[in-house]
Amino acid sequence: MKKEYVFGNAKVIVYSPLTQMTTEEQKSFFENEWKKENPILKDIAQAAYDCLIDNVLEKKQA
């Protein structure tokens, strides 16, 4: 129930049942959790959005 990713010199290990799901099962899981207004999922989405906005603004200023 884990999956490993390598980004440059960093190794990321994800321990989650999601790693064993198909893409369609993952999509269904996230859609259901979003509809249930899962607060952890909402926080993760907000953090990703904030990071994206910060990067866009940073590039505009460069």
Tell me: the pLDDT tens digits for 5-55? Answer: 999 999 999 999 999 999 999 999 999 999 999 999 999 999 999 999 988
Which tokens hold the place of 52? Answer: 């994206």
**Rounded CA separation 11/5 (Å):** 6
User: Is 54 within 8 Å of 62 (Cβ atoms)?
Assistant: no
Provide the terminal-to-terminal Cα distance of the chain, rounded to the nearest Å: 42
Instruction: Report the pLDDT value the prediction gives residue 48, as an integer from 0 to 100.
Output: 94
List C-alpha distances in Å: 61 to 6, 15, 25, 49, 55: 31, 38, 40, 19, 10
Both tokens of residue 14?
């994800």
Query: Which pLDDT value is given to residue 60?
Result: 82
* Single pTM value for the model: 0.66
